[in-house]
Homo-oligomer: A and B are copies of this chain.
């Protein structure tokens, strides 16, 4: 059972999950090169027995659980960072600890070992997003779950241990620090300026244009003014909703298009770079977060944070979001560093 430990100096909680150390490390044969071999891949059809039994799947008629015939498949993470079945821990004032109670699921995007969200057709991406909603609803209803974090690590430099395209869902017993900061900021904007910060940001970015990447009927994709990472992109729904779960069907279809579009720009313009994305949504702890505005944040792995970032929690971004946006949108080709992972 993984556990949460509190740093008594900062008050922050760290997940200690030694089970995760046993994750496979051999799937990426060399840096920046994806495994071409799918026969030992636990996420490929035919290898269903290599994962824990599935908890959900979109399946072709007449196919059976834990066999081939699925389009999207959800399984518990074999090496969980959060799990049910809390052991009692001896927490003290000096060493505060608790069980890392929650859930950690893997959402396998498609049977294709060589695909990813950027290469799938929009219909396939829609299915993945529908599965996100389904699993979000299931996990967020649990009493002890206060936040559900959905993420993707894709490519060896993203932190992924398996190349076959997949998402991870973490059901957490606490609201993470970054979400707490966004909530505090959103509340401040609502009270002091009478407006949602992200609604204002969408309006301002559509007006300013210079950080805009792409947009459609329901979403706007832009590189945020205070981007933490080169080529960071936020995909923000035009309609103000606190929770990802409340997105309507028409919006979901629209989101599939824009997500595939943004990740395709990473792949095509940044030489098949590794990337990360995560969804920020309102906590599910029973409080009112109607002033919060859910969104998705993505970034490619083109730089390596060092001691400054680890020691201060401040980021140094060696690009401007304006030039990154020019580059990703096709408005300009000028960029102050050569993409492709040359800078570390």
The interface of chain A, by Cβ under 8 A from chain B, is: 5-18, 20-23, 25, 28, 31, 81, 93-95, 149, 151-153, 156-161, 168, 170, 172, 176-179, 181-182, 184-186, 188-189, 193, 197-198, 200-201, 204, 224-229, 276-278, 280, 297, 299, 303-320, 323, 336-337, 342-344
Question: Which of B14, B15, B151, B226 sits near A13, CB closer than 8 Å?
Answer: B226
A305–B159 contact, CB under 8 A?
Answer: yes
Known: A5-B226, A94-B204, A225-B95. A178 touches B313 (CB 8 A): yes
Known: A8-B189, A313-B177. A25 touches B342 (CB 8 A): yes
A9–B198 contact, CB under 8 A?
Answer: yes
B10–A151 contact, CB under 8 A?
Answer: no
Complex CA–CA separation, A290 to B158 (angstroms) = 41
A226–B21 contact, CB under 8 A?
Answer: no
Complex CA–CA separation, A25 to B311 (angstroms) = 23
Complex CA–CA separation, A318 to B225 (angstroms) = 34
Contacts of A337 in B (CB 8 A): 21-22
Contacts of A197 in B (CB 8 A): 8-9
Contacts of A172 in B (CB 8 A): 312
Complex copy number for this chain: 2
A343–B21 contact, CB under 8 A?
Answer: yes
A343–B23 contact, CB under 8 A?
Answer: yes
Contacts of A189 in B (CB 8 A): 8
Contacts of A304 in B (CB 8 A): 157-159
Complex CA–CA separation, A39 to B193 (angstroms) = 58
Known: A20-B316, A226-B5. A178 touches B307 (CB 8 A): no
Closest B residue to A192 by beta carbon equals B93
Closest B residue to A276 by beta carbon equals B307
B185–A8 contact, CB under 8 A?
Answer: yes
B149–A312 contact, CB under 8 A?
Answer: yes
Question: Which of B8, B15, B229 sits near A316, CB closer than 8 Å?
Answer: B15
